[in-house]
Each structure stands twice: as structure tokens, then as C-alpha cells.
A and B are shown apart, each in its own frame.
Chain A
Amino acid sequence: MVSVKPTLTGEIDANPSQGKTSVLKALRNNKVAYASFWFLVLIHVAVFLGPVVWTVNPEELQAAGSLAGWSFQHPFGTDDLSRDVFARMLHGGRVTLIVGLVAMLFSLLIGTVVGACAGFFGKVVESILMRITEAMMAIPTFFFILVALTVLGTSPTMVIVVIALAGWMEIARVVYGETLKWKEYEFVEAANASGATPFRILTKYIIPQIVPSIIVAGTLTIAAAILTESAISYLGLGIQAPTATWGNMLQNSQQYIWTAPVLGILPGVAITIVVLAYNFLGDGLRDALDPKFVKK
């Protein structure tokens, strides 16, 4: 943000190809995004290394009985099936975050390929790919997620694939727009004239320019993927028990909302702050990476 200075005409005087260091520096100026970044690092460390320290088995029944309050043995108490809630939060978080991350990577792959091909090749390829993208955006994807999971089953792999298939369109549009812009530049023309294959031009010259936008879109896609996972788990069509995810921990909590509200509050708070942090980070990165958005 700091490297961008509005001039008298209202135009933005910024170098479009900022280096990595200035991105981190710019992000540091956005306190909320910067804090979100470190918070996410912390959460990932906690969720991935936590189970090494806190060795209670999340699927094992505890002697404390069901719906026990907090104690030193069980800092967050136990759930309706007398399992340790703290251990389930750690393991569940691991599953939820991995689902979000891997689904995002899949979406990114599909979106980048579709967007880049449509933008670069134009003509028929463009019409077909972008019409499909628009069609996918125009339908309520959540219905399709439900249908697909009903038919294809609810294994973690299927959940990831289905979430990814429902979430690549925004990325495709971003990459498409950027590809259209970058393919007009002289260095791409030069590469073309020197006989580089389309594959080489895309991967060596165009996509590297789009990486910042892809990072932003990817960050926001993780947030959306985590929300989708939790919603389908709540409906009982996501990853199944006994494997814990933050989403399916909420599934039964509605029944116990009288007796043990903490069962419903904890996973929800965890999902909300992680998604919030990803959204803040995504917004912050967008401001830091794209001078266009600073103008608005």
C-alpha cells in the first residue's frame, strides 16, 4: 500500500510488477491482514503439532463420561459420546484445514487451466470454456454438491473433489481476464515470434505474471471451501463420524444446545475466526498486490 502514491490526476503511480519483498512489506502495513497471517500460521502449527503434544485419542471414549464439564484431563470437557473435545478440536481442525487447502489447490488448478486456455487461445476454446464457467456460476452449486455427494459417497477424497469442482469459477474468471491483458505485451509477442510453443508461453511468460492474482483468489477460495465443508457436514452429507471435522462436530450439537452449549460454540468459533483470517488476508493481499484496488 505504501508503495502506491496517487498523483495529481488521480492516476496510480505504481510498478505493476512489484517484487515479493515489497508484497510482504505492503502487507505489513495492513495491520489486520498481517495479524491474520500470523494467526493462521499459529493455528496451523497448533492443529498439526498439537496432537503430538496432546496425545488423547479423539475417537476414544473417556472415563469422565458424556458431556462432562472442563477439567485438567479434558480442558474443553467431553462430548455426547464421552470423547475428549479438545483432542477432537485439534484433529478435526487438521481435517478441516486440509480439506480447505487441498480443495483450493484443485480449484486453482482447474481455474487456472480453464482461464489461461480461454484467454490465450480465444475463439472457439474461449467461447466453450467461458460459457461453461458462466453456466456454473449461474446455478446454485450447493444443490449440486448435495446431489453429487449423495450419489458418489462421502469419503474425504470425494468431499474435496466435489468442493473443488464447485469452486473454481471465480479463479477461472480472474485468470482469464489477466491472460487477456498479458498476452498483448511485447515480451509475449517476442516469445511467440521466436517460436515458443503455446504451453511454454503460458507457463513461462504469462502465468508467472498472474501469480499474485492467483494467490489472492486462492486465499479467498480456502475460506469459501472451509465454509462449504462445514455446511455439508452440518447437513450430515460431509465427512462421516468417527473422523472429526469442525463441521461434523456441529452436526449433533443442535440437540445438546440446552445441556452443553460449548459443544456448539467451540467448533463454530474456530471455523469463523479461521475463515475470517483467510478473508482478511485475501483482502489485504489484494490491496497489497493490485494497485487497481487501492484506487477504489
Chain B
Amino acid sequence: MLRFLVNRLGQSIILLLIVTIITFFLINLAPGGPSSTMRMDATAEERQAMVENLGLDQPVLVRYVDWITNAVQGDLGVSFNTSEPVTQRILERLPYTIELTVFTIIISVLLGIFLGVLSAIKRGKAQDHVINFFSVIGLSVPAFWLGLMLILLFSINLGWLPSSGVGSRGGEFSLWGYVSHLILPVLILTTTVLPNIVRFTRSSMLEVISQNYIRTARAKGAKESIVLYVHALRNALIPIITIIGMLIPRLLSGAVITEAIFGWTGIGTLIIEAARGRDYPLVMGVTVVITVVVVVCNLLVDILYSRVDPRVKNV
């Protein structure tokens, strides 16, 4: 177990290093890199000050080593546009994204497993076809467009739900104010991952059902519901843990779009602001933090997996 952990941890660190190197060199070596993005009206002194401040007169490799040394200590530099520490700006925004994604994961996992199992049990019947059909639609609708249509329906025509914002935070807490702002964003983000969970659960369940021990259970006269929910589902759930780990990058990518539609002040809108404003330290910081989040989640999923399925331990 320990060897497995150390192995995994080592891989994660290498992945992180690769990601930071690619991003850093992409940003710093491209023709439109930081040195060319200073304000046009900046005086020669301002320019010089900024170059020194950012260490732009140093070779890129030196700058990377500097950056990574600071980053490991939690200092991701200073934002070009607001002069605030990048770490602080990210920490302000991160909770909103976590909130959005955690609600989405809970809902899509519960709903996804339910629908996937239903689809597998009713294989070839009407329920299966309906679920399959909507899964493919869910995979095909552009999330942002679905968001626009839902705003058109629920916010503009019916006036039931707010079209953007995170609700009043810090002010007087109202449950409806909180929930109503979450409904549409969570719904949109759910559609980006739910179809994958449903489809994966379905095939995982079908695979388990075709195995010998299920035939044995049926042969000894166990009730069909017990065979399905006690014998089959438990083993079918194991691979589903992996797909949830694999969906986390997709979820975070989806969060960028979702946050953009609904003006949700999370890390997604932060990277869009950073990209549009060419705020390179911020772009770099957000990318790294997101990668760390993903790597940590994957690590947790792997550990969980090895606890649930003893066969994995020695891999």
C-alpha cells in the first residue's frame, strides 16, 4: 500500500512539473508574451521598472526556477492588472467553484447511478431507449447555449429564477436566495457530466450481470431485486469510482463555461478575465491551482479505489 502511494505521489508531482513547464514556456516564449503586453503609454522608466520587477531581463529558465521556487512556498506572484497577490485572488474565488462542483458531483453521481442501473436492468426496453436518447442529447448540446435557453425560459419568460450572480453573500442569509442562484448553474454543469456517468454505469452493470456469480445467485433462487441490488450493484460501483475521477477535469472545464454564462464569481470567470486582460501571472496561477486540484482528486480516487478493490494494491 505504501509503495503504491509513493508511486502515485511521484507520478502526480511529475505531472505537475510538466504542466507548469509547458504553461510557463508557452506564455513566456510566445511572440505575444508578457514583455509585449505592457501599456502603450508606459514611460521608459515604468517599462524598466516592470521588466526588473518581473525579472523579464533574466533568461526564461532562470525565471521558471524562480517562479517554481516561490510557487512551492505558496507565492504565485502579483497580478499584472490589479497588483494583488495571485494566491489571494485565487483563494477568494476558489470556494465558489468548489461549491458549484460539489453540488454538481453529488447530484450527478446519485442521479447518474440511478439512471444507469435503471437503463441496464430495463435493457432494450422503453426506459433504456429514453435514457440513452437523452444521454446522447446531453452530450451534444453546447452547455452555454442550453444555459441561454434556460435563462430565456426561467428568468425572462417565467421570472422564477435569477439569471446571474451568486446571491447575496455576507448580507442577510436567505435560503431561497441562496438556492435559487444555484439551481441553473448546477443544472447546466450536471448536463456536462451526467451522460457519461449514466453510460458508464450502464455498461459496468451489464458487464457484472453477465458474470457467473450472478447466474449462481439466480440459480440458488435469490430474488431478482436482491441479485441486482445486493450482488450486482456493489461490484458494478467499483469502476464508477474511476469514471468520477476521470470526469473531474471535464467538470472543471465545464465550470468555466457555466460560470461565464451565469456570472458566477469562481475560478472559471477568473481565468477568462485573466486571459482577456492578458494577466499572465494570474493565468499561470489559475492553471497551476486547477491542476493541483485535479491531481489531488485523482490521487484520492486512486486511494479510494485501492481500498474498495484489493486487487489494485499491487499494481
Contacts and interface: CB of A to CB of B under 8 A. Distances in A.
A140 B275 contact: no
B253 interface: yes
B290 A268 contact: no
Interface string A39-69: 0000000000000000000000000000000
Interface of A: 10, 131-132, 135, 137-144, 146-153, 223, 227, 230-231, 234-237, 250, 253-254, 257-258, 261, 264-265, 267-268, 271-272, 275-276, 278-280, 283, 295-296
Nearest to B139: A279
12 contacts: A137-B246, A143-B252, A144-B23, A147-B26, A231-B143, A234-B257, A261-B152, A267-B145, A268-B145, A271-B145, A276-B136, A283-B136
Contacts of B33: 151
Contacts of B1: none
Contacts of A144: 23, 287
Contacts of B290: 139-140, 143
Interface stretch (B65-73, B169-177, B291-299): B291-299
Interface extent on B, as a size class?
Answer: 35 or more
B32 A138 contact: no
Given A143-B290, A235-B272, A257 B148 contact: yes
Contact of A268 (B142, B203, B294): B142
Nearest to B275: A150
Given A144-B287, A146-B272, A236-B276, 9 more contacts: A10-B210, A131-B11, A147-B23, A147-B26, A151-B30, A254-B261, A267-B145, A268-B148, A272-B137
A268 B142 CA distance: 7
Interface of B: 11, 15, 18-19, 23, 26-27, 30, 32-33, 136-137, 139-145, 148-149, 151-152, 156, 203, 206-207, 210, 246, 249-250, 252-254, 256-257, 260-261, 271-272, 275-276, 278, 283, 286-287, 290-291, 294-295, 298
Closest 10 A-B residue pairs measured CB to CB? A142-B253, A268-B145, A276-B140, A275-B140, A151-B30, A140-B249, A140-B252, A150-B275, A140-B253, A234-B144
Contacts, number: 138
A153 B291 CA distance: 23
A87 to B, nearest CB: 21
Contacts of A267: 145
A141 B140 contact: no
Contact of B275 (A10, A135, A237, A261): A237
Given A138-B298, A142-B253, A151 B26 contact: yes
A231 B148 contact: no
Nearest to B250: A140
A139 B287 CA distance: 9
Nearest to B151: A257
Contacts of A152: 30, 32
A143 B26 contact: no
A142 B256 contact: yes
Contact of B140 (A139, A223, A253, A264): A223
A130 to B, nearest CB: 12
A152 B25 CA distance: 12
A147 B18 contact: no
A265 B153 CA distance: 12
A296 B207 contact: yes
Nearest to A251: B144
A139 B18 CA distance: 11
A267 to B, nearest CB: 8
